[in-house]
Structure 1
């Protein structure tokens, strides 16, 4: 049964209470062809249209384990019922502390189905940082990856008055009061819980909060960025359309922290929207094992922060030092050819590939991409910080064009982006469709659109301060 979708009447564009709805930012200024849709409706439709397509894949003990979209939906609904069984109520916080996994995704979506508000906590956070977030969002159910993360929560749980249940989603917990993932899921199999779930789904409105993303807190305590169903589903749809993703044909790798908005959108919600298969890297991905997952997945889009690309550059340059003789000369020639050709694309994006490029591609570029697992990759995206021109140009010489993207948690991730059809090194591209950017007299970037957040949880002062009088989000960043 598909959940009933509705919008709660509201005349406010920003709020600070988890119970309040917002008015959607629509109209001629920020046009959009997409009707509001909730996350449960999106997942139900995807499972109905592409139930047989692999949704999630993870390698464990040497075996590749797969969830189809039909399996994915089933586990999400069961997890939601288990949370209701554990006492989760509408608007309660659900925190997830650990590395990326299918269980992370399922817990996140299950919380939304049950009317809860999920938020990720960085796996590297100390107990005090975990306590602040869990307390601030009134965390009722806490998911932890393993014993290491469990110990953090056990050291602070007496200071979390709303916490009812802890679930360890990888391995068997040693504490009898902590549920294993299998024990937790078994709670959701009782037939009478189906009606409770349908009641929860019937209360969902696309213009109400469904997710919290906490800011880094570099200038004080982290702020809880409230994102609505419409913020997320609209942004996921628009971003995928911007990159011209092909439904049921794409493959992504999940490895960046899911407590960050970029991974939430790229790893969870764009894949649901475009029926993408997501492969999970292991927790040592950033220590050197990422390439193994890339070679298995052959991603069609790869998203990374600058440091990831820099480490790849260092690895390739280190390996090339041992190359000698003719092979070394061919490599240098190919990189010069690749840089020349790709730089010319800036002003002539539709030019034909010349014979030198074709030879360099066959002799060098294809082999390098295959070694990295990028032989099928069409889009390389970087965000989170500026990518150095040196790194950008190095990858250009290898026929890998990295497209920079600009955004922040408060605009649900992406707001402007380069594409292969229009890009400039060192720039962050154009507005995504339906998004609007302007530069004020002091050079600050201001943004508007249906991607702009609802407000900061329980912080009306900061919420009001975040917007201009004419409703634009103030980024705090300078732009030209």
Structure 2
């Protein structure tokens, strides 16, 4: 078994809790701007003192409403200022936050609320409130519900007006590192989601060691600011929220993905958190825009891509020569500067997690002046476990463990983890906890990977997703799926072949990209069903499959594919809220199409 450890950089005291920083900075730097909030279409600064007072007001209201130390308080909302206020207010009141994705169905909401025993639910909209009430209508013990859009946080603040400040202070300081901070329910690609028990120490230790260690350079930039648009119910977005608050980085929220592009240009962040699909869409959008501008613009764009990738690869192995540096400088004026301007002009770094970004995209963005640092982790590890760092970004890997973490790769290739960031088990599920954490204290991630001599981790697949063909060949689908999905026309790809004679793939088309492609290729009248068998579309997808097949041996290559006339989405039930494919449901719902592939 191969191991690699990085020593602890910030030894967080066990008395620390997540809410400390809000009250300490509110007292020490009351006029410092810590959040920027969009009000009436304009970005409005929120000072440390104002944020502290908003948090304290809601916390007092929760105390008056009967929330006791350790009580669970659920939070169902899009990413917005009020989420962050409520999140910290729950901690300040001594409660345990239970995030729920705002897209969750009543059955999912019912499971999380009943399994966690939530006493209170804070929802964003009246629609969310109806979902909660529908989910809990047959339960005798119903949680109290406050709705943000209906003035719920204001009502809580008014309700807590008579709660003494001393009472709030006692509640807040009574919670320490060993106390439960949050229950985050896993996405549940199979079976019921499990509640991950994360303590204050898990979160604060992780946030401070990531901020002062691995990514310190990103949070020392003058005028540092970050735009969060991923759901804060996701463990990575939630941890980044804590990092931003801990470091005093100005935090802004975008609740609607459609607003990301204009908000980037208006807010002008220096730092961004995304998932690979976001960066894929940025690249694909730029490529399609160039193609729509004619042959010359398309040629310039692809020349710029080639120069960016070549420059980045050269920088990883000793530095680019004069000729390549000059080519990159020319393309910077023609292409890269426009791409950076579309992000507000100040963005130079981003972090990507959730799945693999792919080396080509990683090199392209670095060559274009926006370096994307890939990381890796799970909800069970307080989100991050490893991350690439400024000045030592090995593209294609997910980086080294952050300070205080030990990584190992077992003899069967499974990635194992130790450290203070690892959760202490699943809520109400000792059997699952015993399966995940062995007698020696190693957390078994279920992911497959390799560790190089410098401690960089490369994820090669998911243990439970290994496909075994009828011929006995073991195939890891993830790397091939990531490569196919990188094509501009492709939305999702799922490699299949369990107990079958060869490997195949199900492919879906990206609705936005398809519309642009139809206009550019004179096929505006074709339906999505028509496109699934269109020779030009089939040829384009075949090229994506051919690119993926280069990665693997002949026996592992995709021999056939079928384009489905529908996409995998969260609404269809085929994607989790963190955009992972629910393989078992796809296999069930598209059994007819799969049988036809092998027919």
Establish whether TM, by shorter chain, passes 0.5: yes
Q: CA deviation at 1:187?
A: 1.3
Structural mapping, 1:170-249, within 5 Å = 170=149, 172=150, 180-190=152-162, 192-241=163-212, 242-244=214-216, 245-246=219-220, 249=223
Per-residue Cα deviation, 1:328-383 (whole angstroms, up to 9, x for no partner): 5544443332222111122237999934333432443222210233x212322211
Q: SS at the partner of 1:366?
A: helix
Instruction: Find out whether 1:312 has 2:286 as its counterpart.
Output: no
Deviates more, 1:74-83 or 1:299-308: 299-308
Per the alignment, residue 245 of structure 2 pairs with 272
Query: Secondary structure in 1 aligned to 2:58?
Result: helix
- Given the alignment, which residue of 288, 291, 303 partners 1:321? 291
Whether the 8 Å CA contact 2:90–2:97 is kept in 1: the answer is yes
Q: 1:255 aligns with which of 219, 229, 244?
A: 229
- Structure 1 distance, partners of 2:159, 2:208, is 34
Aligned with residue 52 of structure 1, among 23, 28, 31: 31
Alignment pair present for 1:303 and 2:273 = yes
The answer to whether residue 68 in structure 2 is matched with residue 118 in structure 1 is no
1:326–1:129 distance in 2 versus 1, CA, 3 Å: closer
Aligned-partner Cα distance in 2 for 1:121–1:372: 29
- Mapped partners of 1:229, 1:478: distance in 2: 29
TM-score (norm 1): 0.86
Separation in 1 of the partners of 2:140 and 2:55? Answer: 27
Q: Per the alignment, in what secondary structure is the counterpart of residue 385 of structure 2?
A: strand
Map 1:159-174 onto structure 2 (within 5 A).
Answer: 159-170=138-149, 172=150
Partner of residue 34, structure 1: 11
**Which segment is superposed worse, 94-103 or 33-42?**
33-42
1:33–1:420 distance in 2 versus 1, CA, 3 Å: closer
Aligned to 2:441: 471
1:66 maps to what in 2? 45
**Greater radius of gyration (CA):** 2
List structure 1 segments (4+ residues) > 6 angstroms apart after TM superposition: 349-353
Q: Which residue of 1 aligns with 2:106?
A: 127
Aligned-pair CA distance for 1:33 = 3.5
Q: Give the TM-score taking structure 2 as reference length.
A: 0.69
User: Structure 1 residue 93 and structure 2 residue 72: aligned?
Assistant: yes
> Could you say which residue in structure 1 is the equivalent of 2:313?
343
Deviation at 1:109, TM superposition (A): 0.9
CA distance in 2, matches of 1:414, 1:319: 35
Which is bigger in relative contact order (C-alpha 8 A, separation at least 6)?
1
Structure 2 unaligned residues grouped into runs of 5+: 451-599
Structure-2 change in CA distance of 1:102 and 1:34 (3 Å): same
Q: CA–CA distance in 2 between the matches of 1:431 and 1:248? A: 27
Taking the aligned partners of 1:395 and 1:124, their CA distance within structure 2 comes to 31
Q: What is the aligned partner in structure 1 of residue 476 from structure 2?
A: none
- The Cα RMSD (Å) is 2.3
Cα displacement (A) at 1:271: 1.0
Q: Aligned residue for 2:63? A: 84
Q: Deviations over 1:189-230 (max 9, x none)?
A: 22x432321231242112211111111122222111111111
C-alpha change, 1:363 and 1:314, in structure 2 (3 Å) is: closer
Distance in structure 2 (CA, Å) of the matches to 1:246 and 1:160 = 50
Does the CA contact (< 8 Å) of 1:247 and 1:274 recur in 2?
no
Distance 1:291 1:126, change over 3 A: same
Deviation string, structure 1 residues 128-162 (Cα, Å, up to 9, x no partner):
11011111111111111111111101213344555
On the 8 A contact 1:87/1:164 being kept in 2, the answer is no
SS in 2 for 1:365: helix
Distance in 1, matches of 2:32 and 2:386, equals 30
For 1:135 and 1:477, how far apart are their aligned partners in 2?
A: 30
1:455 is paired with a residue whose SS is coil
CA offset at residue 464 of structure 1? 2.1
Number of residue pairs aligned between Structure 1 and Structure 2: 440
Question: Which ranges of structure 1 fall in alignment gaps of 5 or more residues?
Answer: 1-27, 173-178
200-209 or 104-113, larger mean C-alpha shift:
200-209
Give the match's secondary structure for 1:442.
Answer: coil
SS in 2 for 1:184: helix
- Conserved 8 A contact 2:101-2:233: yes
Are positions 1:442 and 2:412 aligned together? Answer: yes
Q: Secondary structure at the match of 2:190?
A: coil
CA distance in 1, matches of 2:274, 2:48: 25
